[in-house]
Amino acid sequence: MLKRSRKLAWSLLLSLGALAIASSAFAQGGSQGNYDPLTLICISGNNSQGQHFVTIGVKAGASGAPAGFTLQWMKLSDWEVNGGAWFSSDDPRLCKMSFSGQPSFSGNAGPTRWELGAYGEVDIRIGDQLFDETGVSGALADDGTGHFTSPDCALECGTEYVFRAFAHASRFNGRSCFSFVGTAAGNETGSPFSCNVSFGGPEVVEPGSSCSTFDDCGGGCTFTQGYWKTHGPGDCSNGNNANVWCDTNGGAPGIMTLGTVTYTDTQICSILNASAKGNGLIILAHQLIAAKFNACNGGATCDGADIATADTFIGTKVIPPVGTASVKSNTLPAGLVTSLDNFNNGLGCALHCASNPSLSPAGTLQKMKWSTLKSHYR
What are the pLDDT digits (tens) for 5-64?
454 455 444 444 433 333 332 333 444 468 888 888 888 766 787 777 888 999 998 999
**11 and 94 fall within a common domain:** yes
Identify residue 47 by its one-letter amino acid code: N
Given a cut of 90, is residue 290 above it in pLDDT?
yes
**329 and 293 fall within a common domain:** yes
Q: Residues with Cβ < 8 Å from 335, sequence gap 6 or more?
A: none
Please, are residues 43 and 55 in contact by the beta-carbon 8 Å criterion? yes
Reduced to 3 states (helix: H, G, I; strand: E, B; else coil), residue 328 is strand
Full 3-state SS string of 204-229: CCCCCEEEECCCCCCCCCECCHHHHC
Task: Flag whether 242 is in a domain.
Answer: yes
Task: Flag whether 335 is in a domain.
Answer: yes
Task: Flag whether 139 is in a domain.
Answer: yes
**49 and 128 fall within a common domain:** yes
Given a cut of 70, is residue 371 above it in pLDDT?
no
Tell whether pTM > 0.85.
no
**135 and 280 fall within a common domain:** no
What are the pLDDT digits (tens) for 248-268?
876 778 899 999 999 999 999
**193 and 306 fall within a common domain:** no
Full domain range(s) for residue 64: 6-217+368-375
Task: Flag whether 361 is in a domain.
Answer: no
**120 and 28 fall within a common domain:** yes
What is the distance between the alpha carbons of residues 66 and 335, in angstroms, rounded to a whole number? Answer: 29
**160 and 302 fall within a common domain:** no
Reduced to 3 states (helix: H, G, I; strand: E, B; else coil), residue 115 is coil
**171 and 233 fall within a common domain:** no
**159 and 285 fall within a common domain:** no
Task: Flag whether 362 is in a domain.
Answer: no
Task: Flag whether 137 is in a domain.
Answer: yes
Between 281 and 2, the more confident residue is 281
Q: Where does the chain have alpha helices with state H? A: 6-23, 76-81, 225-228, 265-272, 280-298, 304-314, 336-344, 370-375
Task: Flag whether 149 is in a domain.
Answer: yes
CB atoms within 10 A of CB 114: 25
Task: Flag whether 121 is in a domain.
Answer: yes
**17 and 59 fall within a common domain:** yes
**79 and 32 fall within a common domain:** yes
Reduced to 3 states (helix: H, G, I; strand: E, B; else coil), residue 56 is strand
Indicate the number of domains in the chain. Answer: 2
What are the pLDDT digits (tens) for 58-68?
999 899 999 99
pLDDT at 318: 97
**350 and 237 fall within a common domain:** yes
- The pairing of strands 39-43 and 95-99 is unpaired
Reduced to 3 states (helix: H, G, I; strand: E, B; else coil), residue 75 is strand
* Mean pLDDT (whole number) for 159-171: 90
**Residue 280: closest CA among 161, 105, 30:** 105
